[in-house]
């Protein structure tokens, strides 16, 4: 009977060990499953975060593109406004030029004196331009050379405009002088006709 009791205790011990091992394995499996679920949860959170960041980046890119489009529209609008202002300024400059031309026609006596001064200034300017151009080209590089050429052309154009204006005034002066000579000639011819008629009338009276 003692031997049977001993065998029974051993069976219980083995059963307890087996249950303990099974419980331990169950707890390990449960822990692994929890760890797997936690990993999946973390991965899902990371995926959702990446999607939110991608969506935010796409939204920011869209806003940037819309801002650039709006800036381009504003620049085009400003450019059109500048073009309109340039046309208006050109028209105003043309009207001012026409007014100046009318004023020049009223200053024929002053133009005669200005002509000699203008010719002297033009000759001096041309000499100074040649000297400045040679000195500038010897000292400056290609970029400065292009800038000098631009300034030189502008100055030459100004000189040409002044020369053209002077020639126009000279033409007007010559036309005015021709008109005066024509009027004087007509007056002289009229007086000669009147004198001839007076002489003829005296001769006719003498014959009578």
Chain centroid to CA 87: how far?
Answer: 15
Q: Is residue 164 part of a domain?
A: yes
Q: Is residue 201 part of a domain?
A: no
Give me 181's structure tokens: 């000579």
pLDDT for residue 65: 92
Report the domain count for the chain.
Answer: 1
Distance CA 83, CA 89 (A): 10
Q: Is residue 166 part of a domain?
A: yes
Q: Which domain holds residue 95?
A: 4-195
Mean per-residue pLDDT, 98-124? 80
Distance CA 117, CA 166 (A): 11
User: Against a cut of 0.75, is the pTM above it?
Assistant: no
pLDDT tens digits for range 128-143: 888 877 776 676 667 7
Q: Is residue 157 part of a domain?
A: yes
Q: Which residues contact 108 (CB under 8 A, 6 or more apart)?
A: 169, 172, 173, 176
Q: Is residue 204 part of a domain?
A: no
Q: Which residues contact 91 (CB under 8 A, 6 or more apart)?
A: none
pLDDT tens digits for range 158-204: 888 888 888 888 888 888 888 888 888 888 888 888 888 888 888 88
Q: Is residue 200 part of a domain?
A: no
Q: Is residue 63 part of a domain?
A: yes
Report CA-CA distances (Å) from 131 to 118, 121, 125. Answer: 20, 15, 10
Q: Is residue 85 part of a domain?
A: yes
Give me 187's structure tokens: 């007056």
pLDDT tens digits for range 77-92: 888 888 888 888 888 9
pLDDT for residue 197: 85
- 168-177 own/partner pairs: CB under 8 Å, 24+ apart: 168/101, 169/104, 169/105, 169/108, 169/111, 169/115, 170/111, 170/115, 172/105, 172/108, 173/108, 173/111, 173/112, 176/108
pLDDT for residue 99: 86
């Amino acid at each position: 009977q003692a031997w049977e009791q001993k065998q029974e205790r051993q069976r219980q011990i083995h059963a307890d060990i087996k249950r303990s091992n099974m419980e331990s394995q169950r707890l390990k499996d449960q822990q692994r499953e929890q760890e797997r679920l936690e990993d999946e949860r973390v991965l899902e959170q990371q995926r959702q975060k990446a999607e939110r960041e991608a969506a935010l980046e796409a939204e920011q890119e869209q806003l940037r593109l819309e801002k650039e489009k709006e800036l381009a529209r504003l620049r085009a609008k400003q450019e059109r406004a500048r073009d309109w202002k340039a046309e208006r300024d050109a028209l105003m400059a043309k009207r001012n030029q026409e007014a100046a031309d009318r004023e020049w026609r009223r200053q024929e006596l002053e133009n005669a004196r200005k002509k000699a001064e203008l010719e002297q200034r033009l000759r001096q300017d041309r000499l100074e331009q040649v000297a400045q151009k040679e000195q500038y080209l010897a000292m400056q590089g290609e970029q400065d050379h292009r800038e000098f050429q631009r300034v030189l052309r502008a100055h030459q154009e100004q000189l040409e405009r002044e020369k053209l204006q002077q020639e126009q005034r000279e033409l007007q002066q010559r036309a005015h002088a021709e008109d005066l000579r024509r009027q004087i000639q007509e007056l002289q011819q009229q007086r000669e006709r009147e004198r001839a008629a007076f002489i003829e009338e005296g001769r006719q009276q003498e014959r009578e």
